[in-house]
Amino acid sequence: MKIIEQHLTEIEPTWQEFTLVNDNQTEVSFLNYGGIITEIKTPDQDGNVENIVLGFEDYRDYTANPAFFGAIIGRVAGRIPNASLPINNQTYQLSANEGINHLHGGPNGFHSVLWEAESFRTDHSVGVTLTHRSPDNDGGYPGTLDVDVTYELDNQNRFTITYHAKTDKTTPLALTNHSYFNLSGNGKHTVENHSITMPSKRFAELDSNFIPTGNILDAAGTPFDFTNGRHIKGSIESDHPQNKIVGSGYDHYFLFVNRVKPDVKVCEPESGRTLTVTTDEPGMVMYTSNNLDENLKLKSGTSRNYMGLCLETQRHPATLSHSNFPPILLTPEKEYRSRTTFTFDTED
Protein backbone atom coordinates (compact mmCIF):
# COMPACT_ATOMS: atom_id res chain seq x y z
CA MET A 1 0.00 0.00 0.00
CA LYS A 2 1.20 3.52 -0.68
CA ILE A 3 0.36 7.22 -0.76
CA ILE A 4 1.17 9.34 -3.80
CA GLU A 5 1.34 13.11 -3.33
CA GLN A 6 1.17 15.65 -6.16
CA HIS A 7 1.54 19.43 -5.90
CA LEU A 8 -0.69 21.35 -8.32
CA THR A 9 1.54 24.35 -8.91
CA GLU A 10 -0.67 25.81 -11.64
CA ILE A 11 -3.11 26.86 -8.90
CA GLU A 12 -2.35 29.60 -6.35
CA PRO A 13 -1.98 28.87 -3.52
CA THR A 14 -0.65 25.44 -4.47
CA TRP A 15 -3.06 22.57 -3.86
CA GLN A 16 -2.05 19.03 -2.97
CA GLU A 17 -3.61 15.90 -4.40
CA PHE A 18 -3.19 12.68 -2.46
CA THR A 19 -3.81 9.21 -3.89
CA LEU A 20 -4.30 6.28 -1.53
CA VAL A 21 -3.40 2.99 -3.25
CA ASN A 22 -4.01 -0.51 -1.87
CA ASP A 23 -2.77 -3.89 -3.11
CA ASN A 24 -6.02 -4.67 -4.99
CA GLN A 25 -5.86 -1.94 -7.65
CA THR A 26 -8.18 0.34 -5.68
CA GLU A 27 -7.18 4.01 -5.60
CA VAL A 28 -8.77 7.06 -3.94
CA SER A 29 -7.55 10.51 -5.01
CA PHE A 30 -8.49 13.76 -3.28
CA LEU A 31 -7.43 17.37 -2.81
CA ASN A 32 -6.56 19.25 0.35
CA TYR A 33 -8.80 21.93 -1.20
CA GLY A 34 -12.31 21.14 0.05
CA GLY A 35 -11.26 17.56 0.80
CA ILE A 36 -12.57 16.99 -2.73
CA ILE A 37 -12.46 13.37 -3.93
CA THR A 38 -11.43 13.66 -7.57
CA GLU A 39 -11.25 9.97 -8.53
CA ILE A 40 -11.93 6.53 -7.11
CA LYS A 41 -10.59 3.73 -9.29
CA THR A 42 -11.72 0.14 -8.83
CA PRO A 43 -11.69 -3.00 -11.02
CA ASP A 44 -14.87 -4.35 -12.57
CA GLN A 45 -15.75 -8.06 -12.70
CA ASP A 46 -13.31 -8.52 -15.63
CA GLY A 47 -10.46 -6.70 -13.91
CA ASN A 48 -10.81 -3.42 -15.84
CA VAL A 49 -9.80 -0.54 -13.54
CA GLU A 50 -11.94 2.56 -14.04
CA ASN A 51 -12.99 5.72 -12.23
CA ILE A 52 -16.35 5.48 -10.40
CA VAL A 53 -16.94 9.07 -9.23
CA LEU A 54 -17.63 12.28 -11.12
CA GLY A 55 -14.96 14.96 -11.22
CA PHE A 56 -13.87 17.92 -13.30
CA GLU A 57 -11.46 17.57 -16.19
CA ASP A 58 -9.77 20.84 -15.15
CA TYR A 59 -8.85 21.11 -11.46
CA ARG A 60 -9.43 24.87 -11.52
CA ASP A 61 -13.16 24.27 -12.01
CA TYR A 62 -13.35 23.05 -8.41
CA THR A 63 -13.05 26.65 -7.21
CA ALA A 64 -16.66 27.18 -8.34
CA ASN A 65 -17.96 23.58 -8.14
CA PRO A 66 -21.71 24.34 -8.20
CA ALA A 67 -22.52 20.62 -7.83
CA PHE A 68 -20.16 20.19 -4.82
CA PHE A 69 -18.43 17.27 -6.58
CA GLY A 70 -16.61 15.07 -4.06
CA ALA A 71 -16.35 17.73 -1.34
CA ILE A 72 -16.53 17.78 2.44
CA ILE A 73 -19.79 19.57 3.26
CA GLY A 74 -20.08 21.73 6.39
CA ARG A 75 -20.79 23.19 8.75
CA VAL A 76 -24.26 21.91 7.88
CA ALA A 77 -25.13 19.67 4.93
CA GLY A 78 -28.53 20.44 3.42
CA ARG A 79 -30.78 23.47 3.14
CA ILE A 80 -31.52 25.94 5.93
CA PRO A 81 -34.60 27.95 4.91
CA ASN A 82 -34.25 31.73 4.69
CA ALA A 83 -30.61 31.29 5.77
CA SER A 84 -31.94 31.78 9.29
CA LEU A 85 -30.48 29.73 12.13
CA PRO A 86 -32.45 29.52 15.41
CA ILE A 87 -30.45 28.41 18.48
CA ASN A 88 -31.60 28.75 22.08
CA ASN A 89 -33.99 31.65 21.42
CA GLN A 90 -31.40 33.50 19.34
CA THR A 91 -31.39 33.78 15.54
CA TYR A 92 -28.20 33.86 13.49
CA GLN A 93 -28.25 35.05 9.89
CA LEU A 94 -26.24 32.81 7.58
CA SER A 95 -24.92 33.44 4.08
CA ALA A 96 -27.51 32.60 1.40
CA ASN A 97 -26.30 30.75 -1.69
CA GLU A 98 -29.46 29.12 -3.11
CA GLY A 99 -31.91 31.95 -3.53
CA ILE A 100 -32.86 32.99 0.00
CA ASN A 101 -31.71 29.67 1.46
CA HIS A 102 -28.40 28.49 2.88
CA LEU A 103 -27.14 25.32 1.17
CA HIS A 104 -24.29 22.99 2.20
CA GLY A 105 -22.51 25.42 4.49
CA GLY A 106 -22.95 28.47 2.28
CA PRO A 107 -20.78 29.98 -0.46
CA ASN A 108 -17.60 29.70 1.62
CA GLY A 109 -18.32 26.40 3.32
CA PHE A 110 -15.89 23.57 3.97
CA HIS A 111 -16.01 22.62 0.26
CA SER A 112 -13.90 25.74 -0.49
CA VAL A 113 -11.44 25.53 2.43
CA LEU A 114 -7.74 24.75 1.97
CA TRP A 115 -7.32 22.10 4.68
CA GLU A 116 -4.11 21.22 6.47
CA ALA A 117 -3.10 17.68 5.58
CA GLU A 118 -1.00 15.00 7.27
CA SER A 119 -0.54 11.52 5.80
CA PHE A 120 -0.12 8.31 7.82
CA ARG A 121 0.45 4.60 7.39
CA THR A 122 -0.55 1.69 9.61
CA ASP A 123 0.02 -2.05 9.31
CA HIS A 124 -3.32 -2.36 7.52
CA SER A 125 -4.08 0.99 5.86
CA VAL A 126 -2.92 4.29 4.40
CA GLY A 127 -4.60 7.62 4.95
CA VAL A 128 -4.58 11.38 5.35
CA THR A 129 -6.05 13.53 8.11
CA LEU A 130 -7.39 16.93 7.06
CA THR A 131 -7.75 19.65 9.72
CA HIS A 132 -9.36 23.09 9.76
CA ARG A 133 -10.29 25.78 12.28
CA SER A 134 -13.53 27.56 11.43
CA PRO A 135 -13.64 30.85 13.36
CA ASP A 136 -16.56 32.26 15.32
CA ASN A 137 -19.15 33.83 12.97
CA ASP A 138 -17.70 31.99 9.96
CA GLY A 139 -20.52 32.26 7.40
CA GLY A 140 -22.71 33.45 10.26
CA TYR A 141 -22.29 30.32 12.42
CA PRO A 142 -21.58 30.78 16.13
CA GLY A 143 -18.50 29.33 17.80
CA THR A 144 -14.93 28.52 16.87
CA LEU A 145 -14.96 24.99 15.49
CA ASP A 146 -11.94 22.70 15.23
CA VAL A 147 -12.65 19.90 12.80
CA ASP A 148 -10.65 17.00 11.40
CA VAL A 149 -11.65 14.58 8.66
CA THR A 150 -9.67 11.40 8.02
CA TYR A 151 -9.65 9.50 4.71
CA GLU A 152 -8.36 5.93 5.08
CA LEU A 153 -8.08 2.98 2.64
CA ASP A 154 -7.29 -0.62 3.58
CA ASN A 155 -6.66 -3.87 1.72
CA GLN A 156 -10.25 -5.03 2.16
CA ASN A 157 -11.19 -2.23 -0.29
CA ARG A 158 -12.77 -0.26 2.54
CA PHE A 159 -12.54 3.51 2.24
CA THR A 160 -13.46 5.08 5.58
CA ILE A 161 -14.23 8.72 6.30
CA THR A 162 -14.04 9.66 9.97
CA TYR A 163 -15.24 13.05 11.20
CA HIS A 164 -14.34 14.69 14.53
CA ALA A 165 -14.96 18.22 15.82
CA LYS A 166 -15.06 20.41 18.93
CA THR A 167 -16.62 23.84 19.49
CA ASP A 168 -16.43 26.58 22.10
CA LYS A 169 -20.07 27.67 21.59
CA THR A 170 -23.25 25.77 20.79
CA THR A 171 -23.41 25.40 17.02
CA PRO A 172 -25.12 23.08 14.51
CA LEU A 173 -22.92 20.52 12.82
CA ALA A 174 -23.88 17.99 10.15
CA LEU A 175 -20.91 16.91 8.04
CA THR A 176 -20.95 14.66 4.98
CA ASN A 177 -19.15 13.91 1.74
CA HIS A 178 -20.73 14.83 -1.58
CA SER A 179 -19.23 12.32 -4.02
CA TYR A 180 -21.28 11.32 -7.07
CA PHE A 181 -20.84 7.58 -7.66
CA ASN A 182 -21.26 5.91 -11.03
CA LEU A 183 -20.30 2.24 -10.90
CA SER A 184 -20.48 1.74 -14.67
CA GLY A 185 -16.91 3.06 -14.81
CA ASN A 186 -15.62 6.22 -16.50
CA GLY A 187 -19.20 7.47 -16.79
CA LYS A 188 -20.11 5.07 -19.62
CA HIS A 189 -23.78 5.06 -18.61
CA THR A 190 -26.07 7.02 -16.34
CA VAL A 191 -26.94 5.57 -12.94
CA GLU A 192 -30.50 4.68 -13.98
CA ASN A 193 -29.65 0.96 -14.11
CA HIS A 194 -28.04 0.96 -10.64
CA SER A 195 -29.98 -0.99 -8.05
CA ILE A 196 -30.09 0.07 -4.41
CA THR A 197 -30.96 -1.89 -1.28
CA MET A 198 -31.28 -0.22 2.12
CA PRO A 199 -33.26 -0.92 5.28
CA SER A 200 -34.83 2.54 5.65
CA LYS A 201 -38.61 2.48 6.02
CA ARG A 202 -39.18 6.22 6.43
CA PHE A 203 -38.23 9.33 4.50
CA ALA A 204 -38.71 13.08 4.86
CA GLU A 205 -41.40 14.76 2.79
CA LEU A 206 -40.20 17.80 0.82
CA ASP A 207 -41.95 20.98 -0.28
CA SER A 208 -41.48 22.61 -3.69
CA ASN A 209 -38.26 24.28 -2.48
CA PHE A 210 -36.79 20.92 -1.42
CA ILE A 211 -37.20 21.87 2.24
CA PRO A 212 -38.57 19.17 4.59
CA THR A 213 -42.15 19.87 5.65
CA GLY A 214 -41.64 18.10 8.97
CA ASN A 215 -43.68 15.08 7.90
CA ILE A 216 -41.94 11.71 8.02
CA LEU A 217 -43.58 9.41 5.46
CA ASP A 218 -43.88 5.63 5.40
CA ALA A 219 -41.89 4.23 2.46
CA ALA A 220 -43.78 0.91 2.26
CA GLY A 221 -45.45 0.36 -1.09
CA THR A 222 -43.88 3.47 -2.65
CA PRO A 223 -40.86 4.14 -4.87
CA PHE A 224 -39.08 5.10 -1.64
CA ASP A 225 -39.08 1.52 -0.35
CA PHE A 226 -35.63 0.01 -1.02
CA THR A 227 -35.80 -2.77 1.55
CA ASN A 228 -35.93 -5.45 -1.16
CA GLY A 229 -33.87 -3.60 -3.74
CA ARG A 230 -35.00 -1.21 -6.46
CA HIS A 231 -33.58 0.14 -9.72
CA ILE A 232 -33.29 3.91 -10.00
CA LYS A 233 -34.81 4.01 -13.48
CA GLY A 234 -38.24 2.77 -12.45
CA SER A 235 -38.43 5.32 -9.69
CA ILE A 236 -37.38 8.16 -11.99
CA GLU A 237 -40.30 7.26 -14.24
CA SER A 238 -42.77 7.11 -11.33
CA ASP A 239 -45.70 9.46 -10.84
CA HIS A 240 -45.21 9.69 -7.08
CA PRO A 241 -45.50 13.40 -6.18
CA GLN A 242 -42.32 13.27 -4.08
CA ASN A 243 -40.35 11.97 -7.07
CA LYS A 244 -41.87 14.63 -9.30
CA ILE A 245 -41.30 17.53 -6.93
CA VAL A 246 -37.50 17.17 -7.10
CA GLY A 247 -37.37 16.78 -10.89
CA SER A 248 -38.13 13.07 -11.30
CA GLY A 249 -35.77 11.25 -8.99
CA TYR A 250 -34.55 11.57 -5.43
CA ASP A 251 -33.14 14.32 -3.25
CA HIS A 252 -34.59 12.96 0.00
CA TYR A 253 -33.49 12.17 3.54
CA PHE A 254 -33.95 8.50 4.45
CA LEU A 255 -33.95 7.68 8.16
CA PHE A 256 -32.27 4.55 9.51
CA VAL A 257 -34.21 2.92 12.35
CA ASN A 258 -33.46 -0.52 13.83
CA ARG A 259 -31.03 -0.91 11.00
CA VAL A 260 -28.95 -3.92 10.10
CA LYS A 261 -25.53 -3.59 8.53
CA PRO A 262 -24.69 -3.07 5.76
CA ASP A 263 -26.84 0.02 5.62
CA VAL A 264 -26.87 0.56 1.86
CA LYS A 265 -25.79 -1.60 -1.07
CA VAL A 266 -25.53 -0.38 -4.66
CA CYS A 267 -25.03 -2.71 -7.64
CA GLU A 268 -24.34 -2.03 -11.33
CA PRO A 269 -25.09 -5.16 -13.39
CA GLU A 270 -22.95 -4.56 -16.48
CA SER A 271 -19.69 -3.89 -14.67
CA GLY A 272 -20.56 -6.17 -11.75
CA ARG A 273 -19.32 -3.52 -9.34
CA THR A 274 -20.91 -3.14 -5.93
CA LEU A 275 -20.68 -0.41 -3.32
CA THR A 276 -21.62 -1.03 0.30
CA VAL A 277 -22.09 1.94 2.63
CA THR A 278 -21.97 1.41 6.39
CA THR A 279 -22.45 4.36 8.73
CA ASP A 280 -23.20 5.34 12.30
CA GLU A 281 -25.22 8.33 11.07
CA PRO A 282 -29.02 8.30 11.68
CA GLY A 283 -29.88 8.81 8.02
CA MET A 284 -28.78 9.58 4.49
CA VAL A 285 -29.73 11.99 1.73
CA MET A 286 -29.85 10.15 -1.58
CA TYR A 287 -29.56 12.39 -4.63
CA THR A 288 -29.78 10.96 -8.15
CA SER A 289 -28.43 14.12 -9.88
CA ASN A 290 -31.84 14.88 -11.37
CA ASN A 291 -30.91 18.57 -11.49
CA LEU A 292 -27.24 18.32 -12.36
CA ASP A 293 -25.89 21.32 -14.26
CA GLU A 294 -25.48 20.41 -17.91
CA ASN A 295 -22.36 20.94 -20.01
CA LEU A 296 -19.86 20.76 -17.14
CA LYS A 297 -16.58 19.39 -18.47
CA LEU A 298 -15.92 16.22 -16.51
CA LYS A 299 -13.22 13.57 -16.84
CA SER A 300 -15.94 11.23 -18.08
CA GLY A 301 -17.36 13.72 -20.61
CA THR A 302 -20.04 16.39 -20.52
CA SER A 303 -22.38 16.33 -17.54
CA ARG A 304 -26.07 15.52 -17.79
CA ASN A 305 -28.87 14.44 -15.48
CA TYR A 306 -28.59 11.07 -13.71
CA MET A 307 -24.83 10.81 -14.20
CA GLY A 308 -24.11 10.22 -10.53
CA LEU A 309 -25.55 8.96 -7.26
CA CYS A 310 -24.87 10.84 -4.02
CA LEU A 311 -25.12 8.91 -0.76
CA GLU A 312 -24.81 11.67 1.85
CA THR A 313 -24.75 9.97 5.25
CA GLN A 314 -25.59 12.69 7.74
CA ARG A 315 -27.78 14.33 10.34
CA HIS A 316 -30.26 16.82 8.87
CA PRO A 317 -30.87 20.55 9.44
CA ALA A 318 -34.64 19.95 9.41
CA THR A 319 -34.25 19.33 13.14
CA LEU A 320 -33.78 23.09 13.60
CA SER A 321 -37.48 23.49 12.78
CA HIS A 322 -38.91 20.02 13.46
CA SER A 323 -38.15 18.09 16.64
CA ASN A 324 -38.90 14.69 15.07
CA PHE A 325 -35.52 14.70 13.27
CA PRO A 326 -32.23 13.64 14.89
CA PRO A 327 -30.52 16.58 16.68
CA ILE A 328 -27.52 18.41 15.20
CA LEU A 329 -26.51 20.94 17.88
CA LEU A 330 -22.96 20.47 19.17
CA THR A 331 -22.18 21.93 22.60
CA PRO A 332 -18.75 22.75 24.10
CA GLU A 333 -18.87 19.86 26.57
CA LYS A 334 -19.32 17.28 23.79
CA GLU A 335 -17.33 16.15 20.77
CA TYR A 336 -18.70 15.39 17.31
CA ARG A 337 -17.78 11.95 15.98
CA SER A 338 -19.03 10.15 12.90
CA ARG A 339 -17.81 7.41 10.59
CA THR A 340 -18.89 6.15 7.18
CA THR A 341 -17.23 3.31 5.27
CA PHE A 342 -17.52 2.70 1.53
CA THR A 343 -16.58 -0.85 0.53
CA PHE A 344 -15.87 -1.61 -3.14
CA ASP A 345 -16.35 -5.09 -4.57
CA THR A 346 -17.79 -7.06 -7.49
CA GLU A 347 -20.66 -9.54 -7.66
CA ASP A 348 -19.71 -13.22 -7.33
Least confidently predicted of 187-196, 227-236, 329-338:
227-236
Can the peptide bond before residue 13 be classed as cis, meaning omega within 30 degrees of 0? yes
Confidence at residue 46, expressed as pLDDT on a 0 to 100 scale? 96
Binned at pLDDT 50, 70 and 90, residue 259 comes out as: low
Tens-digit pLDDT profile for residues 144-180: 999 999 999 999 999 999 999 999 999 999 999 999 9
Given 3-state DSSP classes, what are the helix, strand and coil percentages for the chain, each rounded to the nearest 5?
10, 45, 45
* Residues 177, 71, 102, 232, CA torsion sign: negative
> In the chain, what percentage of residues exceed pLDDT 90?
94
Give me the active site residues, please: 178, 312
Confidence at residue 260, expressed as pLDDT on a 0 to 100 scale? 66
Tens-digit pLDDT profile for residues 275-304: 999 999 999 999 999 999 888 999 999 999
- Segment 296-319 mean pLDDT: 96
What is the number of helices (H) and of strands (E) in the chain? 2, 30
| Domains of the chain by residue range | 2-346
Q: Which CATH class is domain 2-346?
A: mainly beta
Q: Are 204 and 212 in contact (CB under 8 A)?
A: yes
CA-atom Rg of the chain in angstroms: 19
Q: Which residues contact 248 (CB under 8 A, 6 or more apart)?
A: 236, 237, 290
Q: Residue type for 79, please?
A: R
